[in-house]
Amino acid sequence: MDRYKTFADALETEVLSEMAGTFFGARKALEDLLDDFQLHVEDLRAREALVFSRVFFLRSLLLGSEGEAGLFAEIGIPPPFPDSRSHAGSRTWQPDSLPFALLSGTRYVKAVLWAYAEVRHACEVYLVGEYEEDPERRGRKRLSLNYRMMERICVRLNERVEKLNTEMTPSSVLQYARSISAADQPGQGALASSLGAESLDKGLMFQKIDFAALGLWKAPSLPLPESCEAAIRRFCARYYAEHEAQIKKVLADLD
């Protein structure tokens, strides 16, 4: 009889150990994923700053926010970056070189067209990503972190939080452990009983991610450069005629 009791005790210990490993392992895995998500949030904010460095460069060519608003009005859309002052981004970034032209007026048009294309591309990459070198797999590509990806990750994480909160509650795990543990084991169910199952579950419940509360910026979808090139050229020709001296100085400073 003692032999069978020893076997039963060993089996019980193994089952309880496996249950504990499953329970705590699942919680640790979710905690790691939530920590990784926060790192992705900071990464995306850094990518946001890259977009605004391009925005600020375009704005410098347009002599400020009024010129920027005028350009987008000519294109036929409201100013897409009205709250740019609250965003990080280099105010001094500039390209290594600008498109060449013999006449400064022509060069200005080309520079604004190029800068607009850079802004649009940066917004597109931020919003939906682009393929980049995978540092963990040599010779392979991966899709860069982007806003849409973060939305999808958030949904999946919240589904996982919901599943763990409802299917693996601490009180249910303790109750099951109590049901298979030996009667002479001390403290069986004591934790759940002393705290109350509902209180215990609420205290250890994972909180879902409130995506809106993260305050992540959502990049606008700008028209393709070729679809608004005529409007940009028209605006630049008029704007250059009105501000020739200032624009020449800006272009000279970029040389």
27-60 pLDDT tens trace? 888 889 999 999 999 999 999 999 999 999 999 9
Q: 179-224: per-residue pLDDT in tens?
A: 555 444 555 455 445 445 556 556 567 889 999 999 999 999 999 9
| CB contact burial 89-103 (16+ within 10 A = b; e otherwise) | beeeeeeeebeeeee
Q: Which residues pair with 133 in a beta bridge?
A: 141
pLDDT score recorded for residue 139: 83
pTM of the full structure: 0.80
Tell me, yes or no, whether 13 lies in a domain: yes
pLDDT of the residue at 132? 86
* CB neighbour list of residue 123: distance below 8 Å, 6 or more residues apart: 51, 219, 220, 221, 222
- Average pLDDT rounded to a whole number, residues 90-112: 87
Stretch among 9-13, 32-36, 97-101 having the lowest mean pLDDT: 9-13
Asked if residue 228 has pLDDT above 90, the reply is yes
Instruction: Indicate if the pLDDT at residue 158 is higher than 90.
Output: yes
In a domain? residue 183: no
Closest Cα partner for 238 from 65, 60, 57, 67? 67
Q: Are 147 and 216 in contact (CB under 8 A)?
A: yes
Asked if residue 122 has pLDDT above 70, the reply is yes
Q: What is the mean pLDDT of the chain?
A: 82
Query: Is residue 85 in a domain?
Result: no
How sure is the predictor about 7, in pLDDT bands with cuts at 50, 70 and 90?
very low
- Split into its structural domains, the chain has a count of 1
| In a domain? residue 143 | yes
- 58 part of a folded domain: yes
Distance CA 115, CA 118 (A): 5
What pLDDT is recorded for position 167? 74
For 47-206, where are the E strands, in sequence order?
A: 131-133, 141-143
Residue 74 lies in a domain: yes
101 in a domain, yes or no? Answer: yes
What pLDDT, on a 0 to 100 scale, did the predictor assign at position 209?
95
Residue located via tokens 């250890």: 204
- The more confidently predicted of residues 106 and 165 is 106
Evaluate whether residue 184 is within a structural domain. no
**Domain range for residue 158?**
2-79+91-178+190-254
Two tokens, residue 73: 């009005």
